[in-house]
């Protein structure tokens, strides 16, 4: 059993993927070729924004977006602590200070009450200049952008949506990667829409931002490649990856997103009486990058993981350590009293196999064995 079955997806799409790769080889347009332009157009249309700029990976996408706003030393950028490192890493790379915010334990996304509280604290202290918020659409579910955008407006902050896991999710029909001032996603292979290497994209409705984004991804170019008007990056999506992504995007839109939601619903129905299952508010649709449950203790999680492994069922822990507890931020000592939930969740969360090529038999097998393991543990093994 695969945790994410990329081989099954390839078997379905291999004819078109292989043909697109061959077309790139025949054309010799390995960088910024026609498939890149076509992909950017189709991504923007699907998300519902004016502009899409592809780049080399999701981390670069975040960094380039922050560079548009000249984020620098002395600025504070508010990020969730329960997420992958790159969300905070790009803030630190630019010399700014990440301020970590706790997690809503039911949605796994940034706690907006604690977000506003810490923004007010930073402003009151006056040591840093609050500049931006980076909400993450964790595990496929959009963050609470209605509240986040209100908070950002009240405090004059930029909003950068980190949609690396959220592509395909939505709130009242408005798609993930269309929220905030700029949004980004990742095409890492395990993401809801992934390529066969690294890739990323940046989305915005702002024409000025779009011009800066296209410049920053190619060495800060001006009117042409050898006219460098600012310090930028070398972060282009290669044409082969774009050719791979196009059929995968079509499959994602046509049936894969629906399949993910069908299997997630099935998991929830089978498991909700045994573990804490993920909550998706009625206004939202998740793209289910991960299906993550909460157990009662780290000991229970360890026991369940081992028992599932014995049955050939792979599981993962996203994430075993919040960002404020990482070694790179060992000196971080701000608002620690308000980061308890993400510490607790990191000890009891467990992600189960999730991809659009599951079947009901597999979901039942995983669920039955998980319930059995939990029952054994809680009844003294």
CATH code: domain of residue 86: 3.40.640.10
Residue at which a domain ends, from 247, 281, 303:
247
pLDDT digits (tens, 9 = 90+) for 141-199: 999 999 999 999 999 999 999 999 999 999 999 999 999 999 999 999 999 999 999 99
Q: How many CB atoms lie within 10 A of CB 18?
A: 14
Mapped onto helix, strand or coil, the DSSP state of residue 303 is helix
Please tell me whether residues 136 and 197 are part of one structural domain. Answer: yes
> Do 35 and 137 reside in the same domain of the chain?
yes
- CB count, 10 Å around CB of 341? 17
Per DSSP bridges, beta strands 174-175 and 170-171 are antiparallel
- Determine the average pLDDT of the residues in 294-299: 98
Q: Give the pLDDT of residue 224.
A: 84
Residue 1 within a domain: no
98-135 as b/e, with b when 16 or more CB fall inside 10 Å? bbbbbbbbebbbbbbebbbebbeebeeeeebebbbbbb
Residue 40 belongs to a domain? yes
118 located within any domain: yes
What is the predicted pLDDT for the residue at 273? 97
pLDDT at 225: 82
Omega into 380 within 30° of 0, i.e. cis? no
d(CA 241, CA 56): 10
Q: Lowest mean pLDDT: which of 91-100, 225-234, 338-347, 360-369?
A: 225-234
Residues 70 and 154 in one domain: yes
Quick check: helix, strand or coil at residue 281?
A: coil
Question: Domain limits at 348?
Answer: 255-378
Residues 154 and 23 in one domain: yes
Same domain, 91 and 193: yes
The average confidence (pLDDT) of the chain is 97
- Mean pLDDT of the region 345-351: 98
Identify whether 126 is part of a domain: yes
The C-alpha atoms of residue 12 and residue 295 are separated, in whole angstroms, by: 35
CA atoms of 366 and 353, how far apart (whole Å)? 8
Per-residue model confidence as pLDDT tens digits over 359-378: 999 999 999 999 999 999 99
Q: Is the residue at 37 inside a domain?
A: yes
For residues 115-128, give the mean pLDDT: 97
Residue 217 inside a domain? The answer is: yes
Domain membership flag for residue 288 = yes
Q: For residues 280 and 340, state if they share a domain.
A: yes
Question: Residue 271's domain is classified under what CATH number?
Answer: 3.90.1150.10
Domain boundary among 247, 263, 298: 247
In terms of domains, do 220 and 362 share one?
no
Q: What is the mean pLDDT of residues 320-329?
A: 98
Tally of domains in the chain? 2
The per-residue pLDDT for 103 is: 97
Q: Please indicate, yes or no, whether residues 186 and 286 belong to a single structural domain of this protein.
A: no
Question: DSSP state, 217?
Answer: T
Which tens digit of pLDDT belongs to each residue from 301-313? 999 999 999 999 9
* Whole-number pLDDT of residue 19: 98
Domain contains 147: yes
- Domain boundary among the residues 247, 282, 312 is at 247
């Amino acid at each position: 059993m695969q945790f994410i079955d990329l081989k099954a997806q390839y078997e379905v799409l291999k004819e078109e993927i292989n043909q697109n790769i061959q077309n790139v080889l025949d054309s010799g347009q390995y960088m910024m070729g026609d498939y890149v332009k076509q992909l950017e157009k189709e991504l923007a249309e699907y998300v519902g924004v004016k502009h899409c700029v592809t780049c080399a990976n999701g981390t670069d996408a975040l960094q380039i977006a922050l560079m548009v706003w000249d984020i620098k030393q002395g600025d504070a950028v508010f990020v969730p602590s329960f997420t992958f490192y790159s969300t905070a890493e790009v803030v630190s790379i630019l010399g700014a200070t990440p301020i970590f915010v706790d997690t809503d334990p039911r949605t796994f996304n940034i706690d907006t009450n604690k977000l506003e509280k810490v923004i007010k604290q930073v402003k009151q202290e006056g040591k840093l200049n609050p500049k931006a918020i980076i909400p993450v659409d964790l595990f496929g579910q959009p963050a609470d952008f209605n509240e986040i955008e209100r908070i950002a407006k009240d405090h004059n902050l930029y909003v950068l949506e980190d949609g690396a896991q959220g592509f395909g999710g939505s709130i009242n029909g408005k798609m993930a990667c269309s929220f905030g001032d700029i949004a980004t996603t990742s095409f890492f292979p395990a993401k809801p829409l992934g390529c066969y290497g690294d890739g990323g994209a940046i989305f915005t409705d702002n024409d000025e931002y779009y011009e800066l984004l296209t410049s920053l991804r190619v060495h800060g170019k001006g009117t042409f490649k050898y006219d460098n008007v600012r310090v930028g990056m070398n972060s282009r999506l290669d044409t082969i990856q774009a050719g791979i992504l196009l059929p995968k995007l079509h499959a994602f839109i046509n049936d894969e997103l629906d399949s993910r939601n069908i299997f997630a619903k099935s998991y929830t129905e089978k498991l909700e009486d045994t573990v804490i299952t993920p909550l998706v508010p009625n206004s939202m649709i998740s793209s289910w990058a991960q299906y993550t449950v909460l157990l009662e203790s780290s000991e229970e999680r360890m026991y369940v993981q081992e028992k599932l492994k014995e049955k050939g069922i792979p599981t993962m822990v996203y994430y075993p350590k919040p960002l404020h507890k990482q070694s790179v931020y060992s000196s971080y000592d701000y608002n620690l009293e308000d980061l308890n939930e993400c510490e607790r969740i990191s000890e009891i969360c467990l992600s189960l196999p999730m991809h659009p090529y599951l079947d009901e038999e597999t979901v039942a097998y995983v669920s039955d064995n998980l319930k059995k393991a939990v029952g054994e543990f809680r009844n003294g093994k």
